[in-house]
Chains A and B, each alone.
Chain A
Amino acid sequence: MGKKRKMPGLNTSSTADISFMLLIFFLVTTSMDTDQGLARTLPKPPEEDQLNNEIKVKERNILNVRINKDNYLLIGDDYCTVEDVKERAKEFIKNADNKPNLPELRAKKIKGLGGKTMMVTENHVISVQTDRGTDYGVYFAVQDALVAAYNELRDELAKQEFGFKYEYLTKEQQDAIREVYPQKISEAEPKKYGGQ
Chain B
Amino acid sequence: MSRFNKGGGREMPEMNTSSLPDLIFTILFFFMMVTTMREVTLKVKFEKPVGTQLEKLARKSCTSFIYIGQPTDALRGQFGTAHRIQLNDKYAEAPEIYDYVMSDRGELPEADKPFYTVSLKVDQRTPMGIITDVKQVLRKAYALKIVYSANKKQD
List A residues at the B interface (Cβ < 8 Å). Answer: 12-13, 15-16, 18-20, 22-23, 26-27, 29-32, 34-45, 67, 130-137, 139-141, 143-144, 147-148, 151, 187, 190
Contacts and interface: CB of A to CB of B under 8 A. Distances in A.
A30 B39 CA distance: 9
Contacts, number: 151
B131 A136 contact: yes
The 3 lowest CB-CB distance pairs between A and B, nearest first, are A132-B129, A137-B124, A30-B35
Interface of B: 17-18, 20-21, 24-25, 27-28, 31-32, 34-38, 49, 51-57, 60, 63, 117, 119-120, 122-129, 131-132, 135-136, 138-140, 142-152
Given A15-B21, A19-B25, 17 more contacts: A12-B18, A15-B20, A19-B24, A23-B24, A30-B36, A36-B55, A38-B53, A38-B54, A40-B146, A40-B148, A44-B139, A133-B129, A135-B125, A136-B128, A137-B125, A141-B51, A148-B53
B128 A139 contact: yes
A16 B21 contact: yes
B124 A32 contact: no
Given A37-B148, A37-B150, A190-B132, A147 B140 contact: no
Contacts of B143: 42
Contact of A136 (B52, B53, B60, B125): B125
Contact of B147 (A40, A67, A144): A40
B81 to A, nearest CB: 15
A136 B124 contact: yes
B17 A135 contact: no
Contact of A19 (B21, B36, B123): B21
